[in-house]
Structure 1
Amino acid sequence: MRVSPDGFANRNIPEASKRFLIEAGLPKSAAPYLSFTDLADSLRPVWEIWGNPDDWNEADRLRLSRYYVIGSDGNSGNPICIDEADGGNIVTLEHEDWFASVMFVNSSVPQLAEFLLLFNGADTEQQIVVELEQVDSDALKEGCFWRYELDAGVDV
């Protein structure tokens, strides 16, 4: 799933992430149960994808204006977003608490893509942890998405 160059209008996204999403894109789906079909041609805010337009008041829109949806976690249904206000970090937003809880996923879109490739191609969990650590050590810290997935025993 790729984004057209026009899909970044008025978005403060790091150049490396823009370039990656324009040129390479992300897969429609990938382990562990991730989907990137929300990334249809442009980066859209949470309120354009989740719920009805009437569900969102101005305070919600302002609070969530920094997040642009690129996909979702199929296990929980939480959106995967680029955090424009935090240097383009990739995060998930917890839909059960109306997107108040944020979990770090990766430091950038290219690092997310590398994690997806490694996660789907590693022979052992020990091997994958070593390789993932080299790509984005922050993503393996306690309380982060990938640490949670590894601790939950997701097959690699």
Structure 2
Amino acid sequence: MEESFGKRWSDKEAAIGVPSELRADMVSFGGLLLPCESAPFLSFDKAPGKKRIFEVYGSSWEWSDKDKERLSPYIMIGSDGSGNPICQRNTDEAVVLIDHEDGFNSISFVNSGVQQLQESLLAYFGERDAVRFLSEMQKIDPKAIEPESFWSIEAKAIGE
């Protein structure tokens, strides 16, 4: 049986020398574990359970019916270091990042699903070789490294 994500994450933390008192706690989303915090500046522990963006950002009266309808397919699972929500789209289970600074209109593809997000986080964690990371991502979720996707942009920052 394949090792659990939590065990593989913990083993990688130990391998790269993360002190035990600084090791990540895990949070469950849909039965899948995610680290509460992870590189690159991502947080999954503060996301409210199964809420939509308009239930988290601002008051309900601040949102138009049109915006609520447009954003209703997105369930928030985390955020990036800039406060942009990371969501799972319920129409196809894709994980996306939605830019809050432009009224939640710009949407960047992150992964094809939460399971691929898990593996991508694990591949990125501690990686210092962009080519090796991209090669691993090609196996995990090829769509996640298409131009202008979240991980293709992050790959450029590896080793900087």
SS of residue in 2 equivalent to 1:37: coil
Shift of 1:47: 0.9
Instruction: Show the counterpart of 1:15.
Output: none
1:2·1:39 contact (CA, 8 Å) conserved in 2? no
The gaps in structure 1 that reach 5 residues or longer are 4-20
Q: Secondary structure at the match of 2:34?
A: coil
**Matching residue of 1:10:** none
Shift of 1:155: 4.5
| Secondary structure class of the residue paired with 1:44 | coil
Equivalent residue for 1:28, pick from 36, 60, 72 = 36
* Residues 69, 82 of structure 1: 8 Å contact kept: yes
Matched, 1:118 2:123: yes
Q: In the alignment, is residue 68 of structure 1 matched against residue 94 of structure 2?
A: no
In the TM superposition, structure 1's runs of 4+ consecutive aligned residues that sit over 3 Å from their partners are none
Residue of structure 1 equivalent to 2:16: none
Q: In the alignment, residue 60 of structure 1 is paired with which amino acid?
A: D
Q: Secondary structure at the match of 1:60?
A: helix
Higher relative contact order (CA 8 A, sep 6+): 1
Q: TM-score, normalised by structure 2?
A: 0.77
Match of 2:147 among 142, 151, 155: 142
Aligned residues between the structures: 134
Percent identity (aligned): 37
- Structure 2 residue ranges without an equivalent (≥5): 1-26
Which AA in structure 2 matches 1:31? A
Q: 1:46 is aligned with what amino acid?
A: I
- 1:2 maps to 28
Aligned alpha-carbon RMSD (Å)? 1.7
Q: Which has the larger radius of gyration?
A: 2
